[in-house]
Amino acid sequence: MSEPLLQVENLHVDFQTYGGVVQAVRGVSFDVFAGQTLAIVGESGCGKSVTVQSLMGLIPMPPGRIHQGSARLRGQDILASKMIAGQDIRGSQISMIFQDPMTSLNPTMNVGSQIAETLEVHRGYSKSEAFARAIELLDMSKIPEAAKRAKQYPFEFSGGMLQRAMIAMAIACEPAILVADEPTTALDVTIQAQILDLLGDLQKETGMAIILITHDLGVVARMADEVMVMYAGEVVEKGSVDDIFYRSGHPYTQGLRQAMPTNNKSTEAEQTLVAIDGSPPDLFNPPRGCAYHPRCPYAMQVCAQQAPPTSILGPTHQTQCWLHHDMAGALPDGLVSGNEAGR
């Protein structure tokens, strides 16, 4: 297999607040390869956005702090490098599209000039060259009458067109990695599908990798090659999209899947969505052992005492759960008190 474009190892990010230290990201590791789509999934507050924003220098420090770990982009340590706080990485080699394009674009500048500005800053284009390229990028992003639209302001665009303009801006510098943070949440279903198709087409044309941050498993099934499931600031399962959808090994991933609506269920019982009981833990003081144990229907005594080691479930598939440990049969049995309702 080729070398990864991005290698993240044991990343820890916390936030110092008046109430204490929020341990938002706790030992996250992953690789991203050229042309691949990695989806990072999990409930709100699981640390998926903070993980990527910390790599891009987008979290305010203080109160944020990366206190452990490394991240290498094409072998270069982007956390140790000054570039992380500057502009070389952000917008040139890694760029990002956000959930709400209306608040991400400047309402006082026309759309073409906003895209052109990226090229002037990162690529040294002249104003006229940059504006001409901005029109090409809008055209690539399937905005009709791109030359006319480039001179219009964000308020003159629909939600779907604004997201296309954001994509045009994000790909302007031909990034190696495009981060899409909930890129379709603010859009209706038909426009969602068009935006996902556009991202897929651009990926085929340019060979860029995509990191897709989402809580929508439907989007994951459609777009992702690899999936990383996060819970309470940790990675609990990683695998190919088939590993996660057909062979998931972690009770949390299974819970997310059961909460996902599908068209393939015929009986009423199959159509009932099953919610995961309880709420995500307090990251000021994460639970000891497996962070999921207060909600897990299969929790054993060991789960509340010791963090589970990594279990390899297949060539591309791994999870952090005591159920898959070689010694699982010999582990101290019995439910952790309070979980009986979830069983």
**What does the binding site for ligand SF4 look like in residue numbers (CB under 6 A)?**
250-251, 290, 292-293, 296, 298-300, 303, 308, 321-323
Nearer to ligand SF4, 79 or 296 (CB): 296
> In terms of CB distance, is 98 or 322 closer to ligand SF4?
322
| Closer of 35 and 342 to ligand SF4 (Cβ) | 342
Residue of 240, 252, 244, 238 lying closest to 303 (CA atoms): 252
Nearest approach, Cβ of residue 333 and ligand SF4 (Å) = 12
Q: State the nearest-atom distance from the C-beta of 143 to ligand SF4, in Å.
A: 45
Q: Which residue from 254, 253, 258, 249 is spatially nearest to 328, judged by alpha carbons?
A: 249
Shortest distance, position 12 Cβ to ligand SF4, whole Å: 20
**Residue 83 CA to its chain's centroid (Å):** 22
Q: Say if residues 166 and 101 touch (Cβ distance below 8 Å).
A: yes
Q: Where are the beta strands (DSSP E) in the chain?
A: 6-17, 20-32, 37-41, 64-73, 76-77, 94-97, 177-181, 209-214, 226-231, 234-240, 310-314, 317-320
Q: Identify which of residues 41 and 186 has a Cβ nearer to ligand SF4 in the complex.
A: 41
Kindly state the tokens that stand for 146. Answer: 């791109």
49: nearest Cα among 157, 159, 139, 183: 183
- CA–CA dist 213, 224 (Å, integer): 11
Are 307 and 338 a contacting pair, CB within 8 Å? no
The DSSP element (H or E) to which 193 belongs, if any, is helix 189-206
Return the number of the residue (270 or 333) whose C-beta is nearest ligand SF4. Answer: 333
| Cβ(233)–Cβ(24) below 8 Å | yes
- Measured from the CB of residue 308, what is the shortest distance to ligand SF4 in angstroms? 4
Residue 241: CB minimum distance to ligand SF4, A = 21
Nearest approach, Cβ of residue 248 and ligand SF4 (Å):
11
* Minimum distance of ligand SF4 from residue 243's CB (angstroms): 16
Q: Name the token pair of 246.
A: 């057909």
d(CA 45, CA 286): 13
Identify the CA nearest to 258 among candidates 271, 274, 246: 274
Q: How near is the Cβ of 10 to ligand SF4 at its closest, in Å?
A: 20
Select 229 or 290, whichever has its Cβ closest to ligand SF4.
290
Cα 5 to its chain centre, rounded Å, is 16
Closest separation between CB of residue 25 and ligand SF4, Å? 19
Backbone angles phi, psi at 132, to 5 degrees: -65, -40
Which residue number, 72 or 238, has a Cβ lying nearer to ligand SF4?
Answer: 238
Choice between 30 and 322, CB closer to ligand SF4:
322
The nearer residue to ligand SF4, 222 or 324, going by C-beta atoms, is 324
Residue 176 CA to residue 200 CA, distance in Å, equals 15
